[in-house]
A and B are shown apart, each in its own frame.
Chain A
């Protein structure tokens, strides 16, 4: 399953980071790498993007991009 399918308040472990080019590098640089545990905190009022918590900080990414991150639910 992918990160955009995780419900608000749930945690998941990243298994694979897809996407390409700049977006992918950006995700990796921000610490979204395999084995990292991510918690989905919130969905923006208009339904996109989402707010996630990882490595002690908050990050926002678009659902479309979250769909490229494969995770296993905890």
Chain B
């Protein structure tokens, strides 16, 4: 058996999924969709699985999330649907339920957060609800792991015995009723041919759903007839088709709730939320408290916890690497193989792996911000400025994370609901200067601008942001000229995040990252090692200036001539910076044959101060490191688009550095 888990956003769907499956989850790939859905085996029931479909409010074909859900239900035809509903917000949640009822698949309604309703003096008459909706209804508390067995029993019952939802009219006798019945009758044969319920087909035709209408392959004549009924309905009901259907559904819901629900007084949770919001979205306090919260998250992640764990991990890797090196040396193995293992594998993968704790810690905080409901408030507060560059408030958080590291920043765009916003945000994140570039800035500013070190660094950050904004405006006008997704967003009550969900998410991100570290990043570091170790005749180099990498550096160096740093060592350092930005510094050290302490003075012989500025600007803006590129590829789902991003970054970097250098030269600097 395979069940689909469907529900609104913020109704506890993921929590219920985690309760049902534990950690037996994996990402499912269904054809033709870019949004992931998770599959998990139900605990203790071999062969029965649940698919966690994205949180949606309706089954229209607008967002990717909605498309995924309906395609899964229509094409994959799960044996049953578990529709989870937030009992404290039942009216709007049932709107989706009514659409699921039409799809002719066994459904069980899981009334989540019933404990909250009862605690606040409300009740829901479960028996009455079952009678009015024609499906089993089970009260659960996903957070407290209550009612799960009853739910599983109910879904097994309806799917094993194929008990479909009772076909019923949501409408009183009237214009809408007549229209739906007429269309339903006309479409019956077609709908049965493609295996969907006539009733569902009819409502979708009335709503003007192109996806369904096309798949039904109706004749011109049939379409005209149906259109005639719909126009008649619009005239008689004095509402257009979409409003008429929404009105019909909400009317029915109000009737159901009127009979089965005793509403509670204002709930404690709501009062608490309003109180929290009186600070967090307050006119004057909103932005300071937001900055404070983000500062705290950053400080914990990049300053305290993450760095501590990262250092610990790199110590471990270093120790392991030293032991291995000793063992290999004792064994008398070929020095090239030893170099491959130590300089290639350990250094490469090790340096990437040391990011892992930072990512895990950051996602720990992010998932708390998301699950508690604060992320929605950030979007509410920051929407206005981001709208100007064609994005919505939700992108703001991802961009902020970019100041720490592009990898988790790109990963965090998962939480964005629109594919367009997600792609655009990913393209802008590399413009935000990540923390790995700080050593480069520190080295150069110390060598060239001792007096104004902080000022130059600040200038670089600002330049990155400004370039990002300019690119966003350009992207908005070209690639992403489509309309941004409408900003109609729920502000859920604040809730304590579930420990289990937070831990599972951290585990998920960690696994995802490690997987990448050992595939794409592994290969990339091996390539760089190869280029660094061998010369053109595949002999091991003794002088790093003769390596393949240096040859490539010498080959591309003229490209950077107009930018003021045509030196091959500068170019080679940039290439090795692709593996990790910190490598720019170490490569410059190796190639100039100077120790870190005197590297600053040596740089003075390669760069003029103006060339140093130009070089800094270039490192600020050029291609993200291999870990970030691999993440971008994963999130964009396309090698081609990733290549475009890399090329765009390099192109922009070249142009801006060129302008900086030439302008400086003209001013006689």
Contact = CB atoms under 8 A, between A and B. Distances in A.
Interface of A: 17, 22-31, 33-34, 36, 42-49, 51, 55-62, 65
Interface stretch (B40-48, B380-388, B461-469): B380-388
B57 A60 contact: no
A49 to B, nearest CB: 6
Contact of A31 (B250, B376, B379, B384): B250
Contacts of A51: 281, 380, 491
B62 interface: yes
Contact of A28 (B90, B242, B263, B490): B242
A36 to B, nearest CB: 8
A27 B95 CA distance: 13
Interface in B26-68: 57-58, 60, 62
B284 A45 contact: yes
Interface in B484-500: 485-492
B486 A45 contact: no
Interface in B9-36: none
B325 interface: no
Interface string B271-283: 0000001000111
Interface residues of B, number: 41
B60 A47 contact: no
Contacts of A27: 488
A34 B243 contact: yes
B318 interface: no
22 contacts: A23-B486, A25-B62, A26-B57, A29-B95, A31-B91, A33-B243, A34-B247, A42-B277, A45-B381, A46-B381, A49-B487, A56-B89, A56-B91, A56-B92, A57-B92, A58-B491, A59-B491, A60-B376, A60-B379, A61-B487, A61-B488, A62-B383
B528 interface: no
Contacts of A29: 57-58, 60, 95, 246
A67 to B, nearest CB: 13
A51 to B, nearest CB: 6
B606 to A, nearest CB: 47
A45 B487 contact: no
Contacts of B95: 29, 31
B88 interface: yes
B281 A45 contact: yes
Given A23-B488, A25-B242, A33-B246, A44 B380 contact: yes
A45 B58 CA distance: 30
A56 B263 contact: yes
A30 B92 CA distance: 7
Contacts of A26: 57, 62, 486, 488
Given A22-B62, A57-B89, A61-B488, A28 B243 contact: yes
Contact of B384 (A34, A48, A57, A58): A48
B465 to A, nearest CB: 18
B92 A46 contact: no
Interface of B: 57-58, 60, 62, 88-92, 95, 239, 242-243, 246-247, 250, 263, 277, 281-284, 286-287, 376, 379-381, 383-385, 387, 483, 485-492
B459 to A, nearest CB: 26
Residue among B88, B92, B488 with the most chain A CB within 10 A?
Answer: B488
A55 B91 contact: yes
B367 to A, nearest CB: 22
Given A30-B57, A45-B287, A62-B487, A55 B92 contact: yes
A55 B95 CA distance: 12
Given A25-B58, A51-B380, A56 B88 contact: yes
A30 B487 CA distance: 12
A42 to B, nearest CB: 6
A45 B62 contact: no
A22 B486 contact: yes
B338 to A, nearest CB: 59
A44 to B, nearest CB: 5
A47 B95 CA distance: 31
A22 B281 CA distance: 28
Contacts of B384: 44, 46-49
B283 A45 contact: yes
Nearest to A27: B488
A65 to B, nearest CB: 7
A58 B490 contact: yes
Contacts of B57: 26, 29-30
Given A44-B381, A47-B384, A65 B488 contact: yes
A23 B486 CA distance: 6
Nearest to A57: B89
